[in-house]
Amino acid sequence: MRTICAILLQMNLNKLKTVFADLPKFRLKQAFKAIFNDFAESWDEVTVFPKDLRAKLNTDFPLGIKAELIESSDGKTIKALVSFEDTKGAEAVLMHHSDSRNTVCVSSQIGCAMGCEFCATGDMGFKRNLTSDEIVMQVLLFSRLLKRSGQRVTNVTFMGMGEPFLNYDEMISAAKFLNKELGIAARHISISTCGIVGGILKFMKEPFQFNLAISLHAPNNELRSKLMPVNRRFSLEKVLQAVAAYIKETNRKVMIEYLLIKDVNDSAENAKELVKVLKKYLVNLFVVNLIPYNPTGSRPEGFANKGTFAKRTPFKFEPSSGKNIAKFKAVLEDGGIEAVQRFSFGQKIAGACGQLGTRLKNR
Ligand code: SF4
């Protein structure tokens, strides 16, 4: 791991229209092109503007984004802790894929109220919602970085800190902006939820072809409620019924995310149960994405013995072994379920969601 840079400065996109209010309309268009298409990092690069205007803009509306970046040792992943005016940080991650896709995983909130047991962000609690601009800035940061090597952001996933459907309006406005202004195809933008049923039902009415991913992580209510407190409000059945309604309405494929945690949810029995429950509620158009757990956070006491989660111990959850993951996948496939296994990118930079923020805070 190595820290590759600390980019400084601040940018508040809300000010943009105000700053350009007294200028001819075409200037605002040029500014949008400079920021969201050419990914200018300073107004000095925007030579279509007169020199005095560039100087004024550098003072009134600096284009900088404040962030600390950490790159994984294999160079495939870069994690950013992005700062805003109130200095609280949101995490974003850039993942380079071997097929030349560049995916940015963005946060929609700082912290999270959902308290999932396997997630460091859950441990932080909820701090605040991010604005649409602040979400866009996370992508902009990496767009600028990629521009230096002639690349672009091709995909965006809302899988960072926070529950996107609990910040629905800002999340959807950011997704639409990324599509319209940065030219990222709607089909390449994915929203991941822990199972907020109202959000799923609202999302299915959106006229854009964004993707939906569901963090399921357990095949039954008992286990899911232990891992994800949201399940006490929206049970597995309610979530899968909402997903079925979404598929019926949109005819779009849904990604079912399943984190594999050693001795917690990765047995062959768990896999068989998952097949059963998915087949009961979903007829087609879904795929299970198996994600090896990325070690983080503290372990609830008594978990392996199916005890209560009243106390926490310093022990961490552990990722499933490769053998168990393969077995789990085989059971799903034998049951007629399409399953894929995603590489756990964050592992090499100590980065399950929330982990970087926690680490920096403790410095
Ligand atoms: S996994 Fe997602 S929904 Fe759960 S606590 Fe972490 S950020 Fe929140």
Q: Domains (ranges, CATH) in the chain?
A: 4-60 (1.10.150), 65-361 (3.20.20.70)
pLDDT digits (tens, 9 = 90+) for 208-249: 999 999 999 999 999 999 999 999 999 999 999 999 999 999
Q: Which residue has the tokens 């499933």?
A: 320
Between CA 209 and CA 207 the distance in angstroms is 7
Predicted confidence at residue 331, as pLDDT, reads 98
Ligand 1 atom nearest residue 228's Cα = 4
In short, whether 194's Cβ falls inside 6 Å of ligand 1 is yes
Ligand 1 atom nearest residue 118's Cα = 1
91 is catalytic: yes
Categorize the per-residue pLDDT at 202 as very low, low, confident or very high, splitting at 50, 70 and 90: very high
Between CA 173 and CA 132 the distance in angstroms is 6
Give the start-end residues of each E strand in the chain. 2-7, 66-71, 77-83, 89-96, 102-105, 109-111, 126-129, 155-158, 189-193, 211-215, 254-260, 286-292, 299-300, 312-313, 339-341
Distance 51 CA to ligand 1 centre (A): 47
In short, whether 161's Cβ falls inside 6 Å of ligand 1 is yes
> For the ranges 15-24, 118-127, 344-353, which has the lowest average pLDDT?
344-353
112 is catalytic: no
Between CA 53 and CA 57 the distance in angstroms is 6
Name residues whose C-beta falls within 8 Å of residue 308's C-beta, 6 or more positions apart in sequence. 300, 301, 302
258 has a pLDDT exceeding 50: yes
Q: Which residue type sits at 224?
A: R
Distance 117 CA to ligand 1 centre (A): 9
Ligand 1 atom nearest residue 194's Cα = 3
Instruction: Tell me if 357 sits within 8 A of 81, measured CB to CB.
Output: yes
Prediction pTM value? 0.88
User: How would you write 210-230 as a 3-class SS string?
Assistant: CEEEEECCCCCHHHHHHHCHH
**148 φ/ψ angles, rounded to the nearest 5 degrees:** -60, -25
